[in-house]
Amino acid sequence: MAREPQKRLIELYEKGVLTKEEARACFLEFDEEPDFLVEEEKPRLSFTLPSLKIFSSSKLKQDYAFSDIESLFISVSEGKLAFVKNKADQVQIQLVYPQQTNQAFLPQIYVENKGLHFASNLPCQMTVSLPDQWMSILNLELGRADARLDYLPFEDVSIHSATDKKQQDIRITAMNHMSQHLFLQLVEAPIYLQVPKHQGLRGKVESSVGQLVINKKKKTSPYFCEKKGDNLLHLHIKTVTSPIIVKGVQHAIRIL
């Protein structure tokens, strides 16, 4: 039976006052090797949070929902991209891949500093449902993908497409609830821009070949335009030979 000093050492060890090494050193002073210290200490528990993956019944269809998102950074090389308004207060994303796609190579979504990041080199259909709230940044790399952007509640919007696919369809509807900055950089893909009736517009359109086609009329590059109205849309389009259709301001655009 352990004597009183040994009992006190065991008590201090069990309470965490003494470490394993300190308790052993104290017992060695009594020329004893304590049995209760021979057993290895239990490792501390640790865990990591699982990554968010919400799959629907079809393995080639993915559904995600995110809260507290302020910015989107999306890159889609080929397929179709759509932005729509969501009744819920979350950013919801639906991804659909061709049936023959290897599931092991499906790209993932991640969130960092309230920014949602997604990049896919696989053909896919992507639908982004956005809540009715003003957001900060949208950066889109479209590649060869078509885009139907009917709802863009972002203060700064940048859209890039480096493809020479003339049949690419990019349609954008500006918002008139607040001033916006819209930057487009294209090669040959036509761009359709819908400006709300009462929204103001001020911008520049420039082509690297020196000539533009705006609303089916030839213009000299750079082409400066403006329209009086509320919540100014700051527009900057850089293109090579992309034809540009601007609806809602056909009779108001003028060269400054």
CA distance 16 to 206: 72
Same domain, 82 and 11: no
Q: Is residue 228 part of a domain?
A: yes
pLDDT of residue 225: 85
Give the contacts of 197 (CB within 8 A, at least 6 positions apart).
Answer: 248
DSSP symbol at 158: E
Residue-number span of the structural domain to which 32 is assigned: 4-37
The two most distant CA atoms of the chain are separated, in Å, by 103
pLDDT of residue 43: 45
pLDDT of residue 80: 93
Same domain, 31 and 136: no
Same domain, 153 and 31: no
Model pTM score: 0.72
CA distance 122 to 79: 8
Same domain, 110 and 142: yes
Q: Is residue 44 part of a domain?
A: no
Q: Is residue 85 part of a domain?
A: yes
CA distance 169 to 54: 30
Same domain, 20 and 78: no
- pLDDT tens digit at each of 256 positions of the chain: 456 776 776 777 676 666 767 777 776 666 555 554 444 444 444 444 434 444 444 557 888 899 889 999 999 999 999 999 998 889 999 998 887 777 777 888 889 889 999 999 988 999 999 999 999 999 999 988 999 999 999 999 999 987 766 678 899 998 878 889 999 998 888 889 988 888 888 889 999 898 888 888 888 889 888 888 888 999 999 998 888 888 876 554 554 4
Give the contacts of 254 (CB within 8 A, at least 6 positions apart).
Answer: 225, 226
Specify the residue for token string 């301001």. Answer: 249
pLDDT of residue 254: 57
pLDDT of residue 51: 41
pLDDT of residue 33: 54
Q: Is residue 253 part of a domain?
A: no
Q: Is residue 45 part of a domain?
A: no
Q: Is residue 42 part of a domain?
A: no
Same domain, 11 and 75: no
pLDDT of residue 61: 84
Number of domains composing the chain = 2
Q: Is residue 54 part of a domain?
A: no
- C-beta of residue 241 within 8 angstroms of C-beta of residue 209: yes
DSSP symbol at 55: B
Same domain, 14 and 67: no
Give the burial class of 212: count Cβ atoms within 10 A of its Cβ; 0-12 exposed, 13-18 middle, 19 or more buried.
Answer: buried
Q: Is residue 48 part of a domain?
A: no
